[in-house]
Amino acid sequence: MTSTHDPLRLADVDPLVFTERARGGQIVGAVALDVVMPVALLTAGIIVIVAGQPALGWVFVLAALALLAVAVWLLGRTGRTVGVATVDARIVRRTTGAAAGAGALWALASGKLAMFDVRRGRDPFAPAIAAFQFPEAVAPAPSRARRGMVPTLLLDSGERLTLDTALVLGRDPSAPADAPAEVYRWADMSRTLSKSHVRLEWDGRQMWVTDLGSTNGTFVRGAGASTPLLPHQRTPVPTDVVLEIGDRTLTVRDAA
């Protein structure tokens, strides 16, 4: 029998899915590091040359030009200049998510580039689609929990929660109005948990986990390795598994 569904192709996926545009403060910080400093050096060099010290002045001028050249090269190749990397962002073409390439300055001047926050959203250089790979120790078999029963969550701090409704975990979590959920504030002295770190759901047959763009990520533990979940992507996860949430762990158990 022939399937009525075509296989998913990379071209069918928005290359900027799950990305987040950079905030104003990030843009200002990147510009300050990548542009203001070289311009200041260039200005200082000209002033020193006019003041009668050409040798020292040209040192400033050449240093400024070198900084600008490196910034343009990094922008074209990786979208991560020193300033952009410092504010945890990446500059890419706003339509394709690719690096600017050789025409980086022209693309920037013509508004074809955009800056994206790689901490709050997916890095545009990361794969737009990725099949979830279960760790070797976790077989991708259907969950053993019976329909109508709900899994139990065992926190490493000793708490036991029942996943009878959608749940958001974090050090100070909240749930948006368009995706209501219970929230659980998980005490975390190490501050490796984000405020709203992860969302867990049970649909009666399947457990779903969504990393909410956390700083330190969410992982499914396997034998000798852990598999990271893509940010903001609702991912099926079997029961009887250990989730690594920041430096904390959460064990999922089948319903008794």
Q: Are residues 93 and 31 in the same domain?
A: yes
Per-residue pLDDT reduced to its tens digit, 65-98: 998 899 899 988 888 999 998 999 999 988 877 8
User: Considering its fold, how many domains does the chain have in total?
Assistant: 2
Q: Would you say residue 227 lies in a domain? A: yes
Residue 140: pLDDT above 60? no
Q: How far is CA 192 from CA 4, 67, 71, 108, in A?
A: 45, 35, 32, 36
Residues 176 and 110 grouped into a single domain: no
Find tokens 């005490």 and name the residue.
Answer: 187
**What pLDDT sits at residue 44?**
92
Residue 26 in domain? yes
In a domain, 10, yes or no: no
Looking at the fold, whether 249 and 169 belong to one and the same domain comes out as yes
Q: Are residues 156 and 249 in the same domain?
A: yes
pLDDT digits (tens, 9 = 90+) for 160-205: 999 989 999 998 899 888 888 999 998 887 788 999 999 999 988 8
Greatest alpha-carbon pair distance for the chain in Å reads: 85
Structural domain boundaries enclosing 72: 20-117
Let me know: does 78 contact 56? Beta carbons within 8 Å. no
> Where among 94, 117, 140 does a domain terminate?
117
Which range (59-68, 77-86, 147-156, 227-236) has the least confidence?
A: 147-156
In this model, does residue 142 exceed pLDDT 50?
Answer: no
What is the full DSSP assignment across the chain? ---SSPPP-GGGS-TTTT-EEPPHHHHHHHHIIIIIHHHHHHHHHHHHHHTT-HHHHHHHHHHHHHHHHHHHHHHHHTS--HHHHHTTEEEEETTT----GGGHHHHHHTT-EEEEETTTS--TTS-S-------TTS--PPP-SPTT---EEEETTS-EEE-SS-EEEESS----TTS--EEEE---TT--S-SS-EEEEE-SS-EEEEE-S-SS-EEEE-SS-EEEPPBT--EEE-SSEEEEETTEEEEEE---
Percent of the chain at pLDDT exceeding 70 = 83
**Are 50 and 99 within one domain?**
yes
Q: Quick check: is 134 in a domain?
A: no
Same domain, yes or no: 205 and 157: yes
Q: Residue 162 belongs to a domain with what CATH number?
A: 2.60.200.20
User: Is residue 77 assigned to a domain?
Assistant: yes
> Do both 241 and 159 map to the same domain?
yes
Q: Report whether pLDDT(253) > 80.
A: yes
Q: Is residue 56 part of a domain?
A: yes
Residue 13 lies in a domain: no
- CB contact at 8 A, 144 and 50: no
Residue that has been written with the tokens 């709203």 in this structure? 196
Q: Is residue 223 part of a domain?
A: yes
Clarify whether residues 113 and 157 are in a common domain: no
Q: Answer yes or no: do 183 and 108 share one domain.
A: no
